[in-house]
Amino acid sequence: MSLKYSPIVLESINHGNFPNVELYIKQQNIFTLYKPQDTKLTIHNIERLKENGTEFIYVDYANEKIVQANLEINLESILSSKVMPQSSKNLIFSQMIINCIDDVFKNPNMAVAFHKCRTILKLLSLKFEDREELTSLFSKMEEYFEKYLITHTAQVTILSMFLYEKLFNAEQNELVEIGVGAMLHDIGMLHIAGDITEKTDALTESEYHRVKFHPQHGHDIIFNVGLTARVPLDIALYHHERYDGSGYPKGLFERRIPRHAMLVSICDIYCALTMNRPYRGASTPKDALKTLNSERRLFDPEIFDGFFAIMNDAPIPEIETAKGNAKEVVFNNKNLILELTKELRASKGDRNKLLKLHSAVTDNVNKSFGEEKEALTAFRIELKNYMNSVSASDNKS
């Protein structure tokens, strides 16, 4: 049986402490043994590979974990290097993000794999000179890493963090939470049968209906391993919601959709369009933007305009929030209840609107914690009392 190979960024290798494993090079889709297991790797080997334009070298899957551990040992020296170009660091950081996502998908019931995502993102510092450098990185990721869902998820993670920082001037802690949510946004696909996830043609209506459960599955997986941070849970649950209310699983609309989930949803679609799939070729970045622009009604207009400007290298429009503070999370406790109160007043006693509002409030209660949960529970009681009074009034008339 032929070996399977895993790519390793050449720049990440420290010849002095690299494990004694076989190394392979890839030429025209053929893997050739470069270094036998019992041969020491030297600085001259690495320099010669660099001179030949080699960016990746390969190990067989059996040694993948050993080499990953070695990369983590060398992370401090990589981060502190003054001579390594940022583009090489970005490539190494991308490899580490892919490794983390792969670990989570292989171990969805182990909290340690999830916590490692946050730990790694806190250490990494992805920086890009421009949007072209970002898309070039994505091309390399697709070329060298073969697992579609893992590579796609890593691209969504990097793009989401890149855009969130640009649009909202976010600090590192905020970016880490966005990154963790993006890394986990599609983990619910693990609950979808392989005959659907690996299908090479269009899904049937029944299959698509089953896929629509993956956001809830993802939310539950994350919550059940003990990750209770609001942002990752929101992103997993709401990344398929649409601004016009046509999304799933809750059918949320407009500003009811948390901005972090809306941003990741845009990145999710863009990255999917620009990757090759068995049933279609990849769109160019320009064509992907055209496709997204034709469906702009599905997205928050301010966030979409910001995304579109950045991906076109245009000036970024100012994005307003409830208090004009770009760092404010739109749906914190106070703002959420304010929005719900406005909807309650706007309902004017319409029972159908009140029932829909009650369902939405219940959803938020079920995924909230602490003071937020108490405030939403109190609001739900007030809403229920109002609904009862409306029913009583209708019965009298």
Residues 59 and 98 grouped into a single domain: no
Q: The tokens of 52 are what? A: 């030949």
pLDDT band at 281, cuts 50/70/90? Answer: confident
Burial tier of 197 (Cβ tally within 10 Å: 0-12, 13-18, 19+): middle
pLDDT digits (tens, 9 = 90+) for 20-52: 999 999 988 899 999 999 999 999 999 999 999
Residues 303 and 359 grouped into a single domain: no
Q: What number of residues does the chain have?
A: 397
Q: State the chain's mean pLDDT as an integer.
A: 86
Residues 169 and 117 grouped into a single domain: yes
Between these two residues, 294 and 318, which has the higher pLDDT value? 294
CB 218 within 8 A of CB 114: no
pLDDT digits (tens, 9 = 90+) for 51-80: 999 999 999 999 999 999 999 999 999 999
Residues 6+ apart with CB under 8 A from 22: 33, 35, 36, 37, 59, 60, 63
Identify the domain boundary among 316, 331, 346.
Answer: 331
Backbone angles phi, psi at 199, to 5 degrees: -70, 140
Residues 37 and 180 grouped into a single domain: no
**C-alpha–C-alpha distance, residues 219 and 221, integer Å:** 6
| Residue 204, in any domain of the structure | yes
| Residue 70, in any domain of the structure | no
Range of the domain at 312: 85-331
Residues 150 and 221 grouped into a single domain: yes
Q: The tokens of 280 are what? A: 């279609």
| Residue 73, in any domain of the structure | no
Q: The tokens of 338 are what? A: 């304010």
Residues 306 and 159 grouped into a single domain: yes
Residues 323 and 361 grouped into a single domain: no
Between these two residues, 204 and 2, which has the higher pLDDT value? 204
Q: Mapping DSSP to helix (H, G, I), strand (E, B) and coil, where does residue 337 land?
A: helix
**C-alpha–C-alpha distance, residues 378 and 364, integer Å:** 12
| CA-closest candidate to residue 340, choices 362, 367, 319, 368 | 362
pLDDT of residue 368: 62
**C-alpha–C-alpha distance, residues 117 and 176, integer Å:** 9
CB 25 within 8 A of CB 5: no
| Residue 78, in any domain of the structure | no
CATH number at residue 201: 1.10.3210.10
**C-alpha–C-alpha distance, residues 358 and 384, integer Å:** 8
Q: How many CB atoms lie within 10 A of CB 59?
A: 21
pLDDT of residue 350: 81
Across residues 80-108, what is the average pLDDT? 94
Torsion, CA 183, CA 185, CA 191, CA 197, rounded to 10: -90
Looking at residue 59, the DSSP 8-state letter turns out to be E
pLDDT of residue 395: 60
| Residue 68, in any domain of the structure | no
Nearest-5° angle of CA 117, CA 57, CA 136?
65
Looking at residue 277, the DSSP 8-state letter turns out to be B
Residues 20 and 93 grouped into a single domain: no
pLDDT of residue 329: 35
pLDDT of residue 394: 64
Residues 206 and 103 grouped into a single domain: yes
Residues 201 and 314 grouped into a single domain: yes
Residues 6+ apart with CB under 8 A from 212: 240, 248, 249
Between these two residues, 198 and 80, which has the higher pLDDT value? 80
Predicted TM-score (pTM) of this structure: 0.79
**C-alpha–C-alpha distance, residues 43 and 26, integer Å:** 20
Residues 231 and 355 grouped into a single domain: no
| Residue 179, in any domain of the structure | yes
| Residue 76, in any domain of the structure | no
Distances (CA, A) of 389 to 380, 382, 384, 385, 386: 14, 11, 9, 6, 5
Identify the domain boundary among 63, 96, 113.
Answer: 63
Identify the domain boundary among 313, 331, 349.
Answer: 331
Q: Which ranges in 81-229 belong to alpha helices (H)?
A: 86-106, 111-123, 131-144, 148-168, 172-184, 194-197, 205-211, 214-224
| Residue 69, in any domain of the structure | no
Q: Which residues of 154-191 are buried (b: 16+ CB within 10 A; e: fewer)?
A: bbbbbbbbbbbbbbbebeeebbbbbbbbbbbbbbbbbe
Which residue's entry shows tokens 């920086």?
127
**C-alpha–C-alpha distance, residues 189 and 173, integer Å:** 27
pLDDT band at 236, cuts 50/70/90? Answer: very high
Say how many domains are in the chain: 3
Residues 138 and 214 grouped into a single domain: yes
Distances (CA, A) of 202 to 33, 96, 194, 199, 273: 40, 32, 14, 8, 15
